[in-house]
C-alpha cells in the first residue's frame, strides 16, 4: 500500500511475483501471506485425525488396564 492505495501484483516473465511502483524517493513494501484454503482444510483434517488417534489409543489403553485388573 502506498499513499493508502493498494498496489496490484502480477507474474513476471520468470514466474515470480512482481509489482510496478511509481517513482519515489523512498518506499516500504510489506508482503503478507495468509495461506490458501487447502492449507486451512489440511490443518483441520490433521487436528481432527490427531484427536481421534489420541482418543483411540487412550480407549485401548484403558480397556487393557480394565481387563488386567479383572483377571487378577
Residues whose CB is less than 8 angstroms from the CB of residue 9 and which lie 6 or more positions away in sequence, other chains included: 17, 18, 19
User: Where in the sequence is the domain holding 63, given as residue range(s)?
Assistant: 35-72
pLDDT confidence of residue 6: 74
Query: Within a domain: residue 6?
Result: no
Query: Within a domain: residue 57?
Result: yes
- Grid cell 480397556 is found at 63
SS3 for the chain, per residue?
CECCECCCEEECCCCCEEECCCCCCCCCCCCCCCCCHHHHHHHHHHHHHHHHHHHHHHHHHHHHHHHHHHHC
Query: Within a domain: residue 5?
Result: no
Query: Within a domain: residue 29?
Result: no
| pLDDT tens-digit series, residues 3-44 | 677 778 889 899 898 888 777 777 777 777 888 999 999 999
| pLDDT tens-digit series, residues 50-69 | 999 999 999 999 998 888 87
Query: Within a domain: residue 70?
Result: yes
Amino acid at each position: 500500500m502506498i499513499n493508502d492505495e493498494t498496489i496490484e501484483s502480477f507474474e513476471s516473465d520468470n514466474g515470480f511475483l512482481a509489482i510496478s511502483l511509481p517513482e519515489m524517493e523512498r518506499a516500504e513494501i510489506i508482503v503478507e501471506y495468509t495461506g490458501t484454503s487447502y492449507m486451512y482444510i489440511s490443518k483441520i483434517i490433521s487436528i481432527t485425525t490427531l484427536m481421534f488417534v489420541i482418543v483411540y489409543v487412550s480407549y485401548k489403553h484403558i480397556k487393557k488396564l480394565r481387563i488386567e485388573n479383572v483377571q487378577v
